[in-house]
Amino acid sequence: MSHDQIGKTTRRDFLGTATAATALTLGASPGAEAQTAPIKSDELQVAQLTTTGQSVQPAATGTPDWTKPAAMAIPKEGYFKLEQGRYGPIYPRSPANYGFTVIAKVKPGREDAIREYGKTIEQAVKDSPTVLAPLRLHYLRWVLFDVGSGLHFMYQGIFDTDFDKYLEDAVALFLKTGITTVFVNLEGWPEDWSTNLQAVIKFFRDHQRPSFLEYGEYPYVTADEVKKALRVKGALSTMLDQMQ
Residues 71 and 94 in one domain: yes
Domain of residue 182: give its range.
41-221
The answer to whether residues 147 and 64 belong to one domain is yes
- 7, 45: one domain: no
User: Is pLDDT of 190 > 90?
Assistant: yes
Mean pLDDT check: name the lowest of 5-19, 98-112, 140-154.
Answer: 5-19
Task: Please tell me the predicted confidence (pLDDT) of residue 56.
Answer: 37
Distance from C-alpha of 27 to C-alpha of 97, rounded to nearest angstrom: 13
Instruction: State the pLDDT at residue 39.
Output: 53
Considering the domain architecture, whether residues 202 and 239 belong to the same structural domain is answered as no
154-158, 185-189, 196-200, 237-241: range with lowest mean pLDDT: 237-241
Work out how many domains the chain is built from and give that number.
Answer: 2
**Residue 90, number of CB atoms within 10 A of its CB:** 19
Same domain, 26 and 141: no
Percent of the chain with pLDDT over 90: 56
* 13 and 45 both lie in a single domain: no
Where b means 16+ CB within 10 Å and e means fewer, 110-128 reads: beeebeebeeeeeeeeeee
Q: How confident is the model at residue 2 (pLDDT cuts 50, 70, 90)?
A: very low
181 pLDDT band, cuts 50/70/90, is confident
The answer to whether residues 31 and 122 belong to one domain is no
Tell me: do 140 and 237 sit in the same domain: no
The C-alpha atoms of residue 24 and residue 45 are separated, in whole angstroms, by 20
- Domain check: are 66 and 92 in the same one? yes
Is residue 80 domain-shared with residue 201, that is, in the same domain?
A: yes
pLDDT one-digit tens code per residue, 23-57: 444 444 434 443 455 555 455 444 444 444 443 33
The tens digit of pLDDT for each residue in 78-96 reads 999 999 988 889 999 999 9
